[in-house]
A and B are shown apart, each in its own frame.
Chain A
Amino acid sequence: GAVVSQHPSWVICKSGTSVKIECRSLDFQATTMFWYRQFPKQSLMLMATSNEGSKATYEQGVEKDKFLINHASLTLSTLTVTSAHPEDSSFYICSARWRLAGGTNTGELFFGEGSRLTVL
């Protein structure tokens, strides 16, 4: 089956530094990728929707200057947490959708394994 790879799987950084997380679709082209964050014992919260070649669409309350998303190719999207602070510590997960012909959104959704960010 399709695989979505995230890297790194975990990262520890100092407060004030920036961290980049990569999301790659390994065997299919993903026209749309999604970024989520998940706090302990809670469900996924959509942060932004990333479409190849265009600007990401951010959910209400998510700072676009804080969480920079780039979807430069059909197989790669990146999330950069800029000037990270301890409150940004979370589990970040991406997903990629293989869009079906005709434009319907019933294409399967594949999730990455997640990246755990700890900001000291």
Chain B
Amino acid sequence: KNQVEQSPQSLIILEGKNCTLQCNYTVSPFSNLRWYKQDTGRGPVSLTIMTFSENTKSNGRYTATLDADTKQSSLHITASQLSDSASYICVVSAYGGYNKLIFGAGTRLAVHP
């Protein structure tokens, strides 16, 4: 069964600290993996998208990694800011159809001053 599991479910960190969010998946055949940031009451915004051959991609203070062998991805946030408080969603695409997008449950990050 295609699944995407994210951990931790929620996380609280102090402003300026770094953190890493995890995403494990069992999606096959794998097409790509995306990380989205969703502010409360807003639509998700894309942070990174990685295909099988990519193992690191950065977007400002966000760095995503992908290990296609172990089927794991991480999102590292450097020097966190209050505005980083949001839900971070991992989405994995499988080949084979329009609806082959599997969503993780998300990690709710709270950055405190």
Contacts and interface: CB of A to CB of B under 8 A. Distances in A.
Contacts of A43: 87, 89, 103-106
Interface stretch (B18-26, B40-48, B56-64, B65-73): B40-48
A93 B63 CA distance: 26
Interface residues of A, number: 29
B32 interface: yes
A116 B41 contact: yes
A116 B106 CA distance: 20
A113 interface: yes
A105 interface: yes
B93 interface: yes
Contacts, number: 62
A105 B100 contact: yes
The main secondary structure of chain A at its interface with chain B is strand
A34 B44 CA distance: 13
Contacts of A45: 103
A105 B95 contact: yes
Nearest to B51: A106
Contacts of B105: 42-43
Nearest to B100: A105
Interface string B29-41: 0011010100001
**6 nearest A-B pairs in the assembled complex, by CB-CB distance:** A111-B43, A49-B99, A43-B105, A113-B43, A111-B44, A43-B106
9 contacts: A34-B101, A42-B105, A44-B89, A45-B103, A51-B98, A57-B98, A57-B99, A105-B93, A106-B31
Given A34-B101, A44-B103, A109-B46, 19 more contacts: A4-B43, A6-B43, A42-B105, A43-B87, A43-B103, A43-B106, A57-B98, A104-B95, A106-B32, A106-B51, A108-B46, A108-B49, A109-B91, A110-B46, A111-B43, A111-B44, A111-B45, A113-B42, A113-B43
